[in-house]
């Protein structure tokens, strides 16, 4: 169990380091969007428009079902991304854009009306407050990572792991009332997916080499 915990901790550390490197390479939203234009072809709204163009006219009930399915997909992407450190860095880039006036809250969040300025300002303020609260939780998570590295083989890693995962879920819950634009999250999701694929290949190769070594 201890070896497994150590192995899991190492993989998580590698993943955090890898995601950090990805973030350093993609500091500006414009650069991210340029490097991942192909990601937007998987934007749920683009999928919806393509489906609408290729299908016979849908009934009202069928349109509602399709819209709900796409909304559920956006929710899954948001939950998967925001529980990670890289997801929080994405939120902080959005915060910077909102603070500087380079972005409008209506372009960051889906499902809000642009006609009511007071409502927009209230949502903007609330969203920024959630980001600040999430940053506070992330600092706790960073401290837990430091403690995890110090633990090494001294035991107690599983408890720290549970606390780290719990903080990730608490950050996700903070943004449950909001629907962050999928275009703002898909590039991050794509980077995570690419890195996870690299990790998977490394694991497979390591297991293959271990098996070959055992048969010598």
In a domain, 140, yes or no: yes
Ranges of the chain with pLDDT below 50: 1-8, 10-15, 17-41, 48, 52, 54-55
Cα 84 from Cα 105, distance rounded (Å): 22
In a domain, 10, yes or no: no
- Residues 6 and 153: beta-carbon distance below 8 Å: yes
- State residue 214's pLDDT score: 63
In a domain, 118, yes or no: yes
In a domain, 51, yes or no: yes
Domain region containing 171: 24-214
Cα 210 from Cα 208, distance rounded (Å): 5
- State residue 62's pLDDT score: 53
CA 43, distance to chain mean position in Å, is 15
- Which among 127, 86, 82 has a CA at the least distance from the CA of 105? 127
Distances (CA, A) of 186 to 5, 50, 59, 68, 197: 31, 18, 30, 19, 16
pLDDT tens digits along 151-181: 766 667 888 889 999 999 999 999 999 998 8
In a domain, 9, yes or no: no
Query: Model-level pTM?
Result: 0.59
In a domain, 54, yes or no: yes
Domain count of the fold of the chain: 1
- State residue 188's pLDDT score: 72
In a domain, 7, yes or no: no
- How large is the C-alpha radius of gyration of the chain? 20
- State residue 211's pLDDT score: 72
- State residue 22's pLDDT score: 42
- State residue 177's pLDDT score: 92
- State residue 84's pLDDT score: 83
In a domain, 164, yes or no: yes
């Amino acid at each position: 169990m201890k070896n497994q915990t150590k192995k899991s901790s190492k993989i998580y550390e590698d993943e955090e380091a890898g995601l950090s490197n990805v973030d350093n390479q993609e500091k500006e939203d414009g650069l991210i969007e340029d490097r991942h234009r192909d990601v937007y072809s998987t934007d749920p709204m683009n999928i919806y428009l393509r489906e609408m163009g290729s299908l016979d006219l849908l009934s009202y009930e069928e349109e509602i079902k399709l819209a709900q399915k796409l909304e559920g997909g956006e929710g899954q992407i948001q939950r998967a991304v925001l529980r990670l450190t890289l997801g929080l860095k994405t939120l902080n880039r959005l915060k910077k854009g909102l603070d500087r006036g380079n972005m409008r809250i209506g372009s960051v969040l889906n499902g809000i009306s642009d006609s009511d300025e007071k409502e927009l300002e209230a949502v903007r303020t609330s969203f920024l407050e959630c980001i600040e609260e999430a940053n506070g939780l992330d600092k706790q998570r960073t401290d837990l990572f430091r403690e995890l590295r110090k633990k090494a083989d001294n035991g107690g890693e599983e408890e720290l792991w549970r606390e780290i995962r719990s903080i990730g879920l608490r950050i996700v819950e903070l943004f449950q009332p909001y629907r962050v634009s999928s275009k703002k999250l898909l590039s991050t999701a794509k980077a995570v997916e690419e890195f996870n694929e690299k990790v998977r290949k490394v694991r497979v190769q390591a297991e293959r080499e271990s098996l070959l070594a055992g048969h010598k």
